[in-house]
Structure 1
Amino acid sequence: MNRLATIGYETDTQGGLIQRLKAADVELVVDVRAVASSRKAGFSKTLLGNSLKAEGVDYLHLRALGTPKPGRDAARAGRTDEMRRIFDAHLEAPEAQLALAQATDLAKEKRIALLCYEDDPNCCHRQIVANHIRATLKCEVVNL
């Protein structure tokens, strides 16, 4: 069984993030941001995906696993419990369920890392996604 990883880039550079991913033998980054653009250099979808590919790591953006705007606003304001409630409700949508199933299937086959902005996985919705995958696959989750 492959271990499931999560990673945030809040205080990292693109090069540092890629180094951490490679050190953990990650084969595929699953971007779980609703908006895969970033004010932080190197972390917008196309540039990040191309940079990962150049280093031998695949990239997939699953927008449906991103936090809706009210959840992002709650997270930015430090209202983590509110963000979790909003995201849990969002996960019940058919599109989110399909994306979660896709991420779970990928985790069966490859070493994947769920990517989002926040360094602390406990303040990020990616931990909720990881917990759902862990419950299905009975796999270990490692926060890089």
Structure 2
Amino acid sequence: MILSTIGYEAATLPEVIAKLRAAGVEVVVDVRAVAASRRAGFSKSVLRASLAAEGIGYEHLRSLGTPKPGREAARKGRVAEMEAIFAEHMATPEAQDGLALATAIARDRHAALLCFEACAKGCHRRIVAGMIRDATGCDVQDL
């Protein structure tokens, strides 16, 4: 079982879809707190429709997004601060419910966690992927 992660910061929608298809991704799990984007094609409804046209499912799990203070810390390069804020957030019942759903999806289908940052190293999706890996034993690949 493989769980993928992908960021769209430095890519176009066609490039992201091509990577997802090449990896055999069946469903995108959007882990952004706010599923809106100034980048063309990456707002929730347009993204969902574009993925559906390619036979790829879409699930937005807002509860797995980084709270605003964490996003601000990440933008400023303060990854440790973002991680601390996100860890506190992940202890909430809402986040735990989202994690349980994401884990169930990843057990069923090849999923890709989607967020903005191009590099997973400084993104909270790496943390979510690690939690799912711990629960399922899946391999994680960053696309």
Give the TM-score normalised by structure 2.
Answer: 0.99
Output the amino acid matched with 1:133.
I
Q: Distance in 2 between matches of 1:58 and 1:31?
A: 11
User: What RMSD in Å do the two structures reach over aligned CA positions?
Assistant: 0.4
User: What letter corresponds to residue 100 of structure 2 in structure 1?
Assistant: A
Residue 108 (structure 1) aligns with: 107
2:114 maps to a residue whose letter is L
- The answer for the alignment partner of 1:120 in structure 2 is 119
Tell me, which stretches of 5 or more residues in structure 1 are unaligned?
none
CA distance, structure 2, for counterparts of residue 17 and residue 31 of structure 1:
13
Opposite residue 93 of structure 1, the aligned amino acid is: T
Structure-2 separation of matches of 1:60 and 1:67: 16
Partner of 1:16: 15
Structure 1 residue 94: deviation in Å? 0.2
Partner in structure 2 of residue 40 of structure 1? 39
| Counterparts of 1:127 and 1:40, CA distance in 2 | 22
Asked if 1:65 is matched to 2:68, the reply is no
For the residues of structure 2 that align with 1:57 and 1:139, how far apart are their CA atoms? Answer: 20
Q: Amino acid of the residue matched to residue 107 of structure 2?
A: K
Name the CA distance, whole Å, in 1 between partners of 2:105 and 2:138.
Answer: 13
How far did 1:27 drift? 0.2
With the length of structure 1 as denominator, give the TM-score of the two structures.
0.99
What is the distance in 2 between the residues matched to 1:76 and 1:53?
Answer: 31
AA aligned opposite 1:53: A
Structure 1 consecutive aligned stretches of length 4 or more whose deviation exceeds 3 Å:
none
**Distance in 2, Cα, partners of 1:103 & 1:15:** 24
Report how far residue 25 of structure 1 moved.
0.4
Give the superposition deviation at 1:18.
0.3
The AA in structure 2 aligned to 1:138 is G
Letter in 1 for 2:105: L
Q: Sequence identity of aligned pairs in percent?
A: 57
Q: In structure 2, what is the Cα distance between the partners aligned to 1:11 and 1:89?
A: 29
The one-letter amino acid of 1:34's match is: A
Tell me the CA shift for residue 44 of structure 1. Answer: 0.2
